[in-house]
Amino acid sequence: MENRLWLTLGISLMAMLALTNAYTHYRLPTAIKPDRYKLKVITHLENPANLTFNGQVSIRFNVLEETNNITLHAQNLTIDENRIQLKSYGDKKYRLCKESVQTVAEQDYYIIRLCQPLEKGQMYKLKLYFSGILSEKLHGYYRSSYVAKETNETRWLSVTQFEPASARAAFPCFDEPNYKAKFIIWMGHHKSLTALSNMPLEKQMPVNGLTDFIWSVFEESVPMSTYLVAYTVNDFKYKESKVEGSDVVFRTWARGDYINQCDYAAEVGPNVLQYYEEVFGIPFPLKKVDEIAIPDFSAGAMENWGLVTYRETALLFAPNVSSESNKQRIAEVIAHELAHQWFGNLVTMKWWTDLWLNEGFATYIASLGLKNLNPEWDSYNADSLDNSLSIFRRDAQLSSHPISQPILNTSQIGERFDSISYKKGSAVLRMLHMLLGQDGFFEGVRDYLMKHKYGNAEQDDLWAAFTEKAHKFNRIEPKYDMKVIMDSWTLQTGYPLVRVNRNYETGAIEISQHRYLENNTISDEEAKKCWWVPLSYTTPNELDFENTSPKVWMECDESGKSVPLKLENVVGPQDWIIFNIQLSGVYRVMYDMDNWRLLNATLNSDKFSSINVMNRAHLIDDVISFAWSGYHDYDITFDVLEYLTKEREYLPWKAALDGLSSVIRLLRPFTEQHDYFKTYLRYIIEPIYYHVEGLNNSLEATKTHSGILLKSLVTGWACRIELEDCVQTAVNYFQQWKQTKNPDEENQIPADLRPTVYCTAIRHGDKDDWQFLWQRYRASNVATEKRTIIVSLGCSRNEKVLRDYIDLTFDKAEYIRTQDVTFAFSSIARSEVGAPIARDYFAQNLAALHDFFGPQSTDLGRLLSSLSSQIISTEDFEKITQLIDSNKEYFKKAEKSVQSAYETINFNIQWIGRNVQDMKSRLADRLSLMGLLKTHVDA
């Protein structure tokens, strides 16, 4: 028979202030483990002036060690201390003397102190009553709204965003990922609205005492971490879908005006989920998946089990308005979030140190899901290249961080949701996949998931699974251990530069490694770093670009130092050698100059396509980056780039133009050099521009997915460097659109070319053009189109227009949502006219910006990042440094962003000092030899 002991707790303010010895460690005590939550939440959306919630939570927990307190999390909640209840299960009766309640604001702790300890091995239930305000800051349990098109009425909804540590802002809980528990959720809401949660709806019943309110009661959940709990109250509609052979029902939700944009997502979700069930060998454990497009959402999407939340741009696709790249992005995000149902939800990292086990896996597995869904897209290689390009830049900074790094305070978690956790994590897993092969990789994945399902894991658990498979399939020698190999990639910052020096007389190749740094400086500490590098390579005689398995390893000795490597007679003296087949490893390769010349000769011949397209892209990125960082001069870079006049594939162009974007940006203030560089780029780009038939809406150039991406990329750059045909065509498109009777219904500009046309027309247009596009933004009901317009409006070269735009961006009475303001700001900040305007606004409104985003946001760091890339003078650097130093409290959530910004500015200044004059003479000589300089000057 169950015995009950009810505790009534009351404490005065003076008594609370008198409490001492507060528990302040950043992690919860380990004496208590929750087993089940019963959560009841009533949401009030009737009065826009008072959007609130209230509820109660009963937490059943086990006592693992004797303790005299219950410590859990609560943030910005009002908890009724007079109604706190505690009961015990079992035969024993407890008499607990008077207790106290204590809060520790810095760690969000809510501590209930007991005079008599809770007994080890005993189970208890704690009941708390709480209330709160639906937040405006897009985390915790927060409000969102939209304007219904037919009635022009504002409709309100509520939704959760708990990752990484905001469940505590919605209900008192043990808000750490290793405290998994089952949840029974009751949502109280007006009967005219719909409630959704992680699990299927079980029943509905009236809420006693609240007219027209009902309880939506959901089935008990599988064990899950608090950050995956989700619920929403809304008036949305849905489209239902499923695939043959699956019992899982998908419902894709959106506001009523947007429901016709749900078809594509409704098709993608069930097919991707079925593929994952097959390759993981573990059925999806829930009966349903709700995917919902939220008007205001801080992240791209959130993988809550059974209720996946998205930005509207990441879920909704409007045919003939959304672009091909929008379609790919939507499919990628859906595939990413559904991969999380296994990596993150079924098996969760023990602590945020290993966030990459969630995000790196979801990113990589999503690329495989997309490859299975649309093999004709060639998206796997494009994703792999994009990941590599991103991390090669970010991880070359001293301010970067390891994939797996201890997190010592909750405030540090937010910044770890970055390219290192996502993209470097993904690239390292791709390297593992290519090393282990298909069978070894997926057998290891399945063993890892089965062993830790419904539990938590750390990266050593993954290495143990992969070591077993690597030995089983003979992918590494028995003496090797995947933990030793992979720790070198996940526990230290950066990645290796592999130097290849050939002796063309003896045939010997000496290979060494050190960390690649953008600023080309190696400290003693960095010089000691060593990676276990899987070296794959081929030569013109082999031309084997399919075998990505390592032919040899660069090893680290027991002290962690690199072991010198020497190869003999693997390539003839007149032939090139290429390392890192298909960019299968996370490393750059620096060849000696003679090998670069041999590679350049092939690239600038009719045999350039004999080199695999991924390796062509890798060679281009390396040769641009080595000049950028001062490892060699720009002559060899320009030599190699000239082969691009023959290149017709997307990936090499993506690598080239991404790499050159920083060069043209830093040359902007130096008119002569900038003009020379644009002339050179026009020479390179003009052949491919006309090959894709420019901005014309031609079927031939856009019949494939990669062809569309190539056309979008090339035309964007052609207009940027003011290729006359591109600019004129863009302006004509725009003016024709302006002259239509109903521009919101009659836009003939091809969807994939709209970013280029809009930006170019605004850049070369007047205030009237800007106002026209702004009105189209306000009238549009397509989220992807609205995003395109937001960015394009920042392309103006009119200072008055840009000043008004930046004011409007942060005006809450206007129409740019909080989630989108960083796109508008960055677009302004990255233009030559807008950069000083954005810098001034940031400096003059820093306190207001901090308040606008809220203390939990990392968005100030995003704004700073877009500013830093444009700062090129010591004077401006000192100003931004002084601003940040005097407002450090605003950047607690953006420490890494600040470090990266300082490093970027320092590098900008160094690059200009090293290259501006040199670039002038090199480009003048080259353009003269090409017969382009005179033509340019005359023009």
Binding residues for Zn(2+): 336, 340, 359
SS3 content of the chain, % helix, strand, coil (to 5): 45, 20, 35
Three-state secondary structure call for residue 584: coil
Q: What is the DSSP string of 805-820?
A: HHHHHT-TTSS--GGG
Active site residue 337: yes
Three-state secondary structure call for residue 453: coil
> In the 3-class helix/strand/coil scheme, how is 20-35 assigned residue by residue?
CCCCCCCCCCCCEEEE
β-sheet bridge partners, residue 502? 509
State how far the alpha carbon of 721 is from the alpha carbons of 664, 668, 754, 791, 933, in Å. 9, 11, 17, 18, 16
With contact defined as beta carbons under 8 Å apart, do 517 and 493 qualify? no
Element (H, E) at 636: helix 634-641
Task: Give the residue numbers of the binding site.
Answer: 336, 340, 359
DSSP assignment letter at 98: -
β-sheet bridge partners, residue 310? 293, 301
Tokens of 31: 């004496």
Q: Using CB atoms within 10 A of its CB, is residue 119 exposed (0-12), middle (13-18) or buried (19+)?
A: middle
With contact defined as beta carbons under 8 Å apart, do 622 and 590 qualify? yes
With contact defined as beta carbons under 8 Å apart, do 721 and 683 qualify? no
Residue type, 891: F
Which residues are within 8 A (CB) of 878 and not within 5 positions of it... i.e. 6 or more apart?
Answer: none
Distance of alpha carbon 833 from alpha carbon 376, whole angstroms: 41
Point out the catalytic residue in the list 99, 163, 219, 337. Answer: 337
Distance of alpha carbon 323 from alpha carbon 319, whole angstroms: 8
Buried/exposed code over 547-566 (b: 16+ C-beta within 10 A; e: otherwise): ebebeebbbbeeeeebeebe
β-sheet bridge partners, residue 43? 53
The reply to whether omega before 164 is within 30° of 0 (cis) is yes
Tokens of 398: 């001293």
At residue 429's C-alpha, the angle toward residues 426 and 432, to 5°, is 155
Annotated active-site positions, please? 337
